Amino acid sequence: MSAIEQTEAARPRGTRLPRRARRNQLLGAAQEVFVAQGYHSAAMDDIAERAGVSKPVLYQHFPGKLELYLALLDQHCEALLQSVRTALASTTDNKLRVAATMDAYFAYVEDEGGAFRLVFESDLTNEPAVRERVDRVSLQCAEAISEVIAEDTGLSKDESMLLAVGLGGVSQVVARYWLSSESPIPRDTAVSLLTSLAWRGIAGFPLHPADGQLSAEGH
C-alpha cells in the first residue's frame, strides 16, 4: 500500500485533510508520477488523479508543475544530506564511518519510493533551479565528508574536499549501478566491498603530517 493509500485509509470519510497533510499527500502522489513518467511526460492531471483531488485543489498548494517538482527535490535533497550527516556522526571509528557513509547512499537509492531518481537521474537537469539544487546537495554532502577528512588527516581544506567529492561520487554511482543491475550481491556485502576499496586509499593518509598512517581501526 502506498503512502497515499495509507493516508486515505486512515482518514474518516467526509473529513478534510489539514493543509500540511494535504500537501504531503500531493507530494506523495507527485513523486509516484514523476518517478514513473519523468518530469516532461508527467501532467498535473495525472498527479491530481493519483492523489484523488481536483486540479484546483492541487493548484491551491502548488502554482505549477515546476514548483511541485522543486518542492519534492528540496525534500529529498535534504533527506540525503541528513542521512550522510547522521552516518558521519554515528561513530568515531574511521573505517566504520566510511562504511556508514557508503551505506547511506545505498539506502537512499534502495528506498522503494525511487526518490533518488529525482535527484540523480532527473530529466530536467537543464532547468537552472533543478541543476542548482542537485549541485548544492552534492556539494553539501562533500563538505560534510571533507570536514571529517580534514580533522582526521591534517590535509588542507582543498585536498580534503577533493577526496570527499571522490568518495561521495563513487558511493552514489556504484549504489545506482548496484540497484539498476539488479545485482545478486546483498546490500551489506556491496557496501563492505566498496568500503574496503575506499579504505585502502583513505587509510594511507597520515592522521597529522608528523604522525604515522591511520591505524586499521581508523584512530
- pLDDT tens for 49-73 read 999 999 999 999 999 999 999 999 9
Written as nine digits, the cell of 154 is 591534517
Separation of alpha carbons 15 and 109, rounded Å: 35
Give the mean pLDDT of 23-32: 95
Report the pLDDT averaged over residues 128-140. Answer: 96
> What's the pTM?
0.82
Q: Which of the four pLDDT bands, split at 50, 70 and 90, describes residue 203?
A: low
Maximum C-alpha span of the chain = 71
Q: Is the pLDDT of residue 208 over 70?
A: no
At residue 94 the predicted structure's pLDDT band, cuts being 50, 70 and 90, is: confident
